Amino acid sequence: MSLPAFILIPDDVLEIARMLEGAGFEAWCVGGAIRDTLLGEPNSDFDIATSATPDQVKGLFKHTVPVGEAFGTIAVRTQRRYHEVTTFRLDLSTDGRRAVVAFGVSLEEDLARRDFTINSLAYHPLTHEWRDPFNGRNDLELRVVRAVGDPTLRFREDYLRILRALRFSARFEFAIEPQTWAAAVLATDGLPTLSAERVREEWFKSLRTARSVARLVKLWQDSGVAARWLPELMVQTDEQGRGLSAAMLAGLDARRGVPLARDPILLTALLCREPVIVLGRLKSSRAEIARAAAVVTGPAEPAGLTPLDVRRWLAAVGDAADDLSMIWQLRHGISPAWVPVVRGVRERGEPLNRKALALTGDDLVAAGMPPGPALGSILDQLLALVVDDPELNSREILLARAERLA
Ligand code: ATP
Ligand code: MG
């Protein structure tokens, strides 16, 4: 592809560049936004690479946050948002997880430490010059992910690059250049040294952005990444109907713009056996693990389509209802027939949990019942009653019932 003479840079990015250049430093736009702009994809994350040191960047701008100062990255706040400004750097030594970096190097050296050719183009926002020493433009045209330099060394410097290669390949439906692929596969033996947090962030980001989830899953399996970090990832539907089918995968890809359909917790629960174990390994939050657990526990669908069936199901699954509906939809390709019934129950505000009961435990104590576990059991029975018949959800009726239950 020929590089455009000019690309549109947001005003606040131009402002940062003028400030840096005005103080005698270089400022170049680099990274994902440049790549995505050339591909015609939206991306407003215009990272700025500069010859200014982190201290100099902090001195020049009023509002900064040292988001990754040891690696040269300072976030600069403009009226609109933060932009990351990173000092040209060289990775001196790397242990496969993190680098020791040196500043005071040229743009060319900085581009050489970047992972893939498609991520190593630089555009000057004021002079409109291009720097593309690794011919990233050609790989954008060929639609390939290719390591900058010797792929074996590059993956051994930072094993996360293996996952990043798979992510970009699935996101843009780019091939992975054969030597880059072979080196990535060989380097998977180093993957266990990565931190669970970095792997989780890559996995989640990959699920959200993949144009093709099918491709992503296949790449994780074929490369050996899944064997190291996600052996529970399934390609085919198993005898319990879990896992993936071709139709489901196509449905996922068609729903790329639907946030819940690309929710990483939901997708992990859908694509993996034992999602609770998987998310535990990836050090997901307690809330995320609980969400996956609720999806596993189910029941996956209501027993029938009457409001009574649907209320009982909603009361049983709680917050997992929308996740379960989405999973059903992804499995079957159509929206479940109970969705409008759920909407009706919610619109009518029918009681589904203890909080919605017209009376509280305190009311029962005030009515003379002893506090303790027996009270909880009475509340549960009252809840079952009003779930079955919302008309009964009044204080008087429930108090009378409670007295009979006590
Ligand atoms: P995204 O659209 O996902 O943000 P990106 O390419 O901008 O994609 P970032 O993680 O934001 O990815 O990183 C910005 C740039 O920094 C990349 O384009 C690449 O040049 C470089 N980079 C990021 N992570 C690495 C890495 N692990 N190894 C080498 N270079 C990297
Ligand atoms: Mg980025």
* Contact call for residues 215 and 169 (beta carbons, < 8 A): yes
Q: How confident is the model at residue 241 (pLDDT cuts 50, 70, 90)?
A: low
Q: How far apart are CA 378 and CA 398, in angstroms?
A: 10
Q: Work out the angle between the directed axes of helices 246-254 and 213-223 (0-180°, nearest 10).
A: 120
Quote the DSSP letter at residue 262. Answer: G
At 258, list the tokens: 């639907």
Please report, in angstroms and rounded to a whole number, the separation of the first and last CA atoms in the chain: 78
Within 13 Å of residue 22, how many CA atoms lie on the same side as its CB? 8
What is residue 238's predicted lDDT score, i.e. its pLDDT?
52
Ligand nearest to the CA of 101: 1
Ligand nearest to the CA of 162: 1
- Please give the distance, rounded to the nearest whole angstrom, from the Cα atom of residue 85 to the centre of ligand 2: 12
Residue 406 has pLDDT above 80, yes or no: no
What is residue 373's predicted lDDT score, i.e. its pLDDT?
86
What is residue 250's predicted lDDT score, i.e. its pLDDT?
77
Residue-wise pLDDT for 305-340, tens only, equals: 999 999 999 999 998 999 999 989 888 888 999 999
- Residue scoring higher pLDDT (102 or 261): 102
Q: How far apart are CA 215 and CA 218, in angstroms?
A: 5
Give the global pTM. 0.89
In the chain, pLDDT over 70 holds for what percent of residues? 98
**Atom 15 of ligand 1, residue of closest alpha carbon:** 31
Residues lining ligand 1, CB < 6 A? 31-32, 43, 45, 47, 114-115, 119-120, 158, 160-161
Rg of the chain over all Cα atoms, to the nearest angstrom: 27
Give backbone dihedrals phi and psi of 99, rounded to 5 degrees, phi first: -110, 155
* Contact call for residues 147 and 86 (beta carbons, < 8 A): no
**Atom 14 of ligand 1, residue of closest alpha carbon:** 31
What is residue 251's predicted lDDT score, i.e. its pLDDT?
77
Ligand nearest to the CA of 160: 1
At 224, list the tokens: 């050996």
Which protein residues have a CB closer than 5 Å to ligand 2 (ion)?
32, 45
- Of 50, 111, 114, the one to substitute when testing ligand 1's pocket (max ligand atoms within 8 A of C-beta) is 114
Residue-wise pLDDT for 138-155, tens only, equals: 999 999 999 999 999 999
- Please give the distance, rounded to the nearest whole angstrom, from the Cα atom of residue 90 to the centre of ligand 2: 19
Residue 96 has pLDDT above 80, yes or no: no
Task: Indicate the average pLDDT of the chain.
Answer: 93
